[in-house]
Amino acid sequence: MAQATKNVIVTGAARGMGAAVVRKLAKRGANVVAVDREPKGLKALKDELAGQPGAVETVTADAGSASDVKAYVEHAAKRFGGVDGIFNIAAILGEFRPIAESSNEGFDEVIRVNTKSAWLGMKYAIPHMIARGGGAIVNTGSYLAWHGCELLGPYNASKHALVGLTKTAALEYAKHNIRAFILCPGSMDTQMNIDTAAGFNPKNTEEGLRQLAASTATGRVADPNDVATVGCFLLLDAPLQMTGTLIPIDGGRSAM
Ligand SMILES: NC(=O)c1ccc[n+]([C@@H]2O[C@H](COP(=O)([O-])OP(=O)(O)OC[C@H]3O[C@@H](n4cnc5c(N)ncnc54)[C@H](O)[C@@H]3O)[C@@H](O)[C@H]2O)c1
């Protein structure tokens, strides 16, 4: 029997891992509401994916704003007739500073964009998933969702908090057939990885990139497509018995 068409929301979709996820979902026939605060990348993605089996709707919005999140979840439900999943990817790195030298505003903004965004996405999408008889949540953590890291305190805290939120969602909504996962990439070949290398090694980004690759067992950073493949499996295919799980894709970094 053919699988019913899934309707999903993806944040942070304009580039990097988010764009890779949208490409895979549309090619598989899922309908996607692709959200980002950057309209240019969204438009390019929509044009690129015209004619794929799944429809791609783009929404320029701030994933950390309650009114924006409520509006795009409602839009997805109206446009496609329901919501089956949400993949929360939007994130920022924030300042590279030791705690005592970090700004209060910087802390608040990182928590708002990285943690509150996923909280809002779950809060507004879950009732729609319950109405559909089930669904899936994939939140994007990091190697830093379960390891400490100098200079990235707020980012680190924002990703650790997502682990707790995701596990709680899994416990609260398993009875509604809703699965919840936290996908934890190590370094991935995206703009954020370049920004990370520059943040840790401002005088020599190339050397920073080499150090990030060398900190894995595989000796290289991940292709965002590989991470997207696992994320799409979690969103569309994982069995009901799999939920509340943290899934690292970090080239063996967390095995060291
Ligand atoms: N790249 C890495 O090395 C790495 C490592 C570990 C975890 N991650 C995580 O993987 C995910 C994807 O990262 P990436 O490397 O593709 O990042 P990226 O910086 O390349 O892309 C992030 C996207 O999120 C969007 N975004 C940021 N703030 C937003 C907001 N308030 N509202 C809507 N959109 C917003 C950006 O415009 C951008 O398109 C993130 O959650 C990141 O924390 C990345």
Q: Is 155 an annotated catalytic residue?
A: yes
Domain residue ranges of the chain, discontinuous segments joined by +:
7-186+222-249
The CATH class, in words, for 7-186+222-249 is alpha beta
User: Which is catalytic among the residues 72, 143, 155, 173?
Assistant: 155
Ligand 1 site, residue 156, Cβ cutoff 6 A? no
CA 224 remoteness from chain centre: 12
Q: Which of 33, 42, 192 to mutate to test the pocket of ligand 1 (most atoms within 8 A of CB)?
A: 192
Ligand 1 site, residue 12, Cβ cutoff 6 A? yes
What gap in Å lies between CA 254 and CA 115, rounded to an integer? 22
Centroid of ligand 1 to alpha carbon of 80 (angstroms): 26
User: Tens digit of pLDDT per residue, the chain (256 long)?
Assistant: 456 799 999 999 999 999 999 999 999 999 999 999 999 999 999 999 999 999 999 999 999 999 999 999 999 999 999 999 999 999 999 999 999 999 999 999 999 999 999 999 999 999 999 999 999 999 999 999 999 999 999 999 999 999 999 999 999 999 999 999 999 999 999 999 999 999 999 999 999 999 999 999 999 999 999 999 999 999 999 999 999 999 999 999 999 9
Whether 144 contacts 159, CB under 8 Å: yes
In three-state secondary structure terms, 58 is strand
Q: Is the pTM of this model over 0.85?
A: yes
